Amino acid sequence: MRVAKADFSGVTTGSSTVAAAPSPAGSGTTVAPSSAGSNEGWSSKTYTVEAGDSLSAIAKKVYGDAGKYNKIFEANQPMLKDPDKIYPGQVLRIPAA
């Protein structure tokens, strides 16, 4: 049996059954439209951790409030065991505010 090599060059972060649009929040984020089909609301998005990021810095970028870091932490359990231990390249789920 032979298996062809997969080409993932066109793959981007995030997942949705509806086409995703870039987020104004910055690179590494994707907005997934809500299930109601409205482009104004979103149920969740993803964020790819970059060097120097922290959950509070990400919360500040996406929610405008660094104190909401725990919301991101809780949405990414059990992948995250400690809110202070995130690494570049990790893709985090960012729940709607």
pTM of the full structure: 0.58
Distance between CA 48 and CA 31 in Å, rounded? 13
* Tens-level pLDDT at each residue, the chain (97 residues): 566 666 656 655 554 433 344 444 444 544 343 333 333 565 779 999 999 999 999 999 999 999 999 999 999 999 999 999 999 999 999 999 8
Distance between CA 37 and CA 42 in Å, rounded? 9
Question: How many other C-beta atoms can be found within 10 angstroms of the C-beta atom of residue 84?
Answer: 10
